[in-house]
């Protein structure tokens, strides 16, 4: 086993950063991402950052690379799991492709492992090709589309409920929408739990980041029993040959039942003076795809979303339920977290599971990146086997395990962190 990069033998020693490093930390991020954040955004992020674990690599006295881990709970099949949410990853342009990220990633995963709290690490990638080598597998996808305000594209006659009323509320009032979010998270894996701090980020509305669009708005669909759906969105007005051709940009739309969700889609697709509605990263099984008259007119694009890394494989696999009974020996390779490598017997079903080391022959051989990909139940073992990434050693074992790992509804992560 090679020593962790925080050892003196590493070319890039990694050390923890504190709030005192904040200014240099933000400056590095700005160089790495090629943009300067507005002051208000920096202030808001600093509050989140105070509770996080940040690390850095120095070249002499110059901070050359950074990475942060927030503590999240995310919904997983059958419940929820602590997860280290990885973010603020950047390397100075002068130091790229010299192994700084590798030093940061290796050290960070080892720290999460040693702390023993989070069996998972999760992240959104600025570019999909970066993180597979560190064991992060693509676990959720999303559909982005632009729905034209055109009767040929709009909703078919879908479920409706005359008891529903629509009401505009203060967009910053997250408490009114928290119940809907939690209800959706209870059935969809991949959703981070939101406390007051994270809700603050979800409803953040920084004028310097509006890019000509309106302030953030919020509409709820409710009945006498309470709020059943909500949407946060902005609008950008424009006229084309005298016709309103503005754009509605939806930040988040969620509903606990079809009628409530459909009522908000109808609202978002039919605002006066608007010409189209942009939706970003909807669930791949969003009912909208059944409701649109003509899905082609919305030009949906499938994008990669949340990447999952099993930091402690046995705890992670025990931490979720399985759709059907499973009894399989997995032979796992993991160079970055060698404590995961080897053969594991996973036994379980809908009500719980065990995962123990074994010397028995393997049914399935795969890399930890692929186990991360299937963990939330979206990406299937079958598709990875078809891609030649998963090796079936015992005939029928991949199909059986794929059914057990799958989850419906599909996993979804509604927000970037
Ligand atoms: C992406 C970034 C963090 C990589 O840092 P780095 O220090 O150059 O990465 P390393 O030198 O440690 O590279 C490790 C490996 O990843 C590969 N790699 C790193 N970034 C890559 C990229 N953007 N595309 C393709 N491969 C990449 C390297 O080639 C290397 O491959 P190897 O292990 O086969 O040798 C850095 O380029 C950066 O800050 N980019 C802009 C900000 C950003 O995208 N951050 C990530 C936010 S999610």
Task: Using the predicted structure, report yes or no on whether residue 5 has a pLDDT greater than 50.
Answer: no
Instruction: Tell me if residue 417 is catalytic.
Output: yes
Task: Using the predicted structure, report yes or no on whether residue 8 has a pLDDT greater than 70.
Answer: no
Average pLDDT on 72-98 reads: 97
Q: Which of 141, 136, 128 is nearest to 307 (CA)?
A: 136
290-332 pLDDT, tens digit per residue, is 999 999 999 999 999 999 999 999 999 999 999 999 999 999 9
Gap between the Cα atoms of 190 and 236, Å rounded: 31
Helix (H) or strand (E) holding 251: strand 246-255
Report how far ligand 1's centroid is from the alpha carbon of 10 (Å): 18
Q: Where are the domains of the chain?
A: 14-118, 142-303, 313-405
351-378 pLDDT, tens digit per residue, is 999 999 999 999 999 999 999 999 999 9
* Cα-based distances in Å from 407 to 95, 269, 374: 41, 30, 10
176: which 2 tokens?
């009114």
Same fold, 14-118 and 142-303: yes
Report how far ligand 1's centroid is from the alpha carbon of 12 (Å): 15
Gap between the Cα atoms of 215 and 56, Å rounded: 36
Per DSSP, helices labelled H in 155-257 are: 175-185, 196-202
How many helical (H) and strand (E) elements, i.e. helices and strands, does the chain have?
12, 21
Q: Is the dihedral of CA 163, 166, 169, 174 positive or negative?
A: positive
98: which 2 tokens?
């010299």
Which pLDDT does position 32 carry in this prediction? Answer: 98
Task: Using the predicted structure, report yes or no on whether residue 267 has a pLDDT greater than 50.
Answer: yes
What is the band of 154 on the pLDDT scale with cuts at 50, 70, 90? confident
Task: Using the predicted structure, report yes or no on whether residue 266 has a pLDDT greater than 80.
Answer: yes
Q: Which atom of ligand 1 is nearest to the CA of 92?
A: 39
Q: Which of 12, 13, 171 is nearest to 97 (CA)?
A: 12
Q: Is the dihedral of CA 367, 125, 319, 312 positive or negative?
A: positive
What is the band of 10 on the pLDDT scale with cuts at 50, 70, 90? low
Instruction: Report the pocket of ligand 1 as residue ranges, CB < 6 Å.
Output: 32-33, 89-91, 96-102, 125-127, 129-130, 133
What is the band of 50 on the pLDDT scale with cuts at 50, 70, 90? confident
Pocket test for ligand 1, best of 94, 130, 304 (most atoms within 8 A of CB): 130
Task: Using the predicted structure, report yes or no on whether residue 181 has a pLDDT greater than 60.
Answer: yes
412: which 2 tokens?
């979804």
Question: For atom 19 of ligand 1, which residue has the closest CA?
Answer: 130
Whether domain 14-118 has CATH 3.20.20.70: the reply is no
Burial class (CB in 10 A: 0-12, 13-18, 19+), 102: middle
Which residues, in sequence order, are CB contacts of 352 under 8 Å at separation 6+? 318, 321
Q: Which atom of ligand 1 is nearest to the CA of 105?
A: 12
Q: CA torsion angle for 362, 363, 368, 371 (degrees, to 10)?
A: -160
Which residues, in sequence order, are CB contacts of 333 under 8 Å at separation 6+? 341, 365, 366, 367, 368
Q: Which of 321, 353, 84, 302 is nearest to 187 (CA)?
A: 321
41: which 2 tokens?
């955004």
102-137 pLDDT, tens digit per residue, is 999 999 999 999 999 999 999 999 999 999 999 999
Which pLDDT does position 9 carry in this prediction? Answer: 53
3-state secondary structure of 1: coil
Q: Is the dihedral of CA 73, 74, 77, 81 positive or negative?
A: negative
Report how far ligand 1's centroid is from the alpha carbon of 96 (Å): 7
Averaged confidence pLDDT in the chain: 95
CATH fold of 142-303, please?
Aminopeptidase (3.40.630)
| Percent of the chain at pLDDT exceeding 70 | 98
Which pLDDT does position 7 carry in this prediction? Answer: 43
125: which 2 tokens?
């990638």
Q: Is the dihedral of CA 396, 399, 400, 405 positive or negative?
A: positive
Gap between the Cα atoms of 256 and 177, Å rounded: 11
* Cα-based distances in Å from 253 to 169, 191, 197, 256: 14, 14, 20, 11
391-417 pLDDT, tens digit per residue, is 999 999 999 999 999 999 999 999 899
Report how far ligand 1's centroid is from the alpha carbon of 89 (Å): 10
Instruction: Tell me if residue 265 is catalytic.
Output: no
Question: For atom 5 of ligand 1, which residue has the closest CA?
Answer: 101
What is the band of 158 on the pLDDT scale with cuts at 50, 70, 90? confident
18-28 pLDDT, tens digit per residue, is 999 999 999 99
CATH fold of 313-405, please?
Nonspecific Lipid-transfer Protein; Chain A (3.30.1050)
């Amino acid at each position: 086993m090679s020593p962790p990069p925080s050892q003196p033998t590493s070319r890039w020693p990694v050390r923890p950063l504190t709030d005192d490093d904040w200014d240099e930390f933000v400056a590095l991020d700005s160089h790495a991402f090629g943009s300067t954040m507005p002051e208000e955004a920096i202030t808001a992020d600093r509050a989140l950052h105070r509770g996080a674990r940040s690390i850095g690599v120095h070249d002499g006295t110059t901070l050359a690379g950074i990475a942060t881990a927030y503590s999240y709970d995310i919904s997983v099949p059958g419940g929820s799991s602590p997860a280290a949410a990885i973010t603020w990853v950047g390397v100075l342009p002068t130091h790229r492709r010299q192994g700084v990220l590798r030093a940061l990633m290796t050290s960070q995963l080892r720290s999460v492992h040693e702390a023993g709290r989070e069996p998972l690490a999760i992240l959104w990638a600025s570019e999909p090709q970066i993180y597979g080598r560190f064991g992060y597998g693509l676990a959720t996808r999303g559909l982005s589309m632009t729905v034209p305000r055109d009767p040929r594209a709009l909703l078919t006659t879908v479920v409706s409920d005359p008891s529903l009323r629509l009401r505009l509320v203060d967009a910053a009032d997250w408490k009114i929408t928290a119940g809907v979010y939690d209800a959706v998270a209870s059935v969809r894996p991949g959703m981070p739990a939101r406390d007051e701090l994270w809700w603050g980020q979800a409803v953040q509305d920084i004028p310097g980041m509006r890019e000509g669009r309106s302030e953030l708005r919020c509409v709820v669909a409710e009945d006498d029993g309470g709020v059943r759906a909500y949407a946060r969105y902005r609008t950008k007005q424009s006229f084309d040959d005298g016709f309103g051709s503005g754009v509605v940009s939806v930040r988040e739309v969620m509903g606990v039942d079809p009628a409530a969700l459909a009522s908000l889609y109808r609202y978002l697709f039919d605002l006066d003076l608007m010409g189209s509605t942009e939706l970003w990263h909807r669930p791949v099984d969003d009912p909208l795809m059944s409701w649109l008259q003509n899905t082609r007119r919305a030009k949906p694009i499938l994008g990669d979303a949340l990447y999952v890394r099993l930091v402690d494989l046995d705890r992670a696999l025990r931490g979720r339920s399985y759709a059907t009974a499973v009894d399989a020996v997995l032979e796992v390779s993991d160079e970055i977290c060698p404590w995961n490598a080897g053969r594991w017997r996973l036994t379980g079903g809908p009500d719980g599971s065990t995962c123990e080391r074994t010397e028995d022959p393997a049914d399935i051989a795969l890399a930890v990146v692929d186990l991360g990909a299937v963990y939330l139940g979206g990406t299937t073992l079958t598709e990875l086997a078809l891609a030649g990434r998963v090796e079936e050693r015992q005939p029928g074992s991949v199909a059986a395990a794929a059914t057990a790992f799958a989850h419906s509804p599909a996993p979804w992560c509604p927000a970037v962190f």
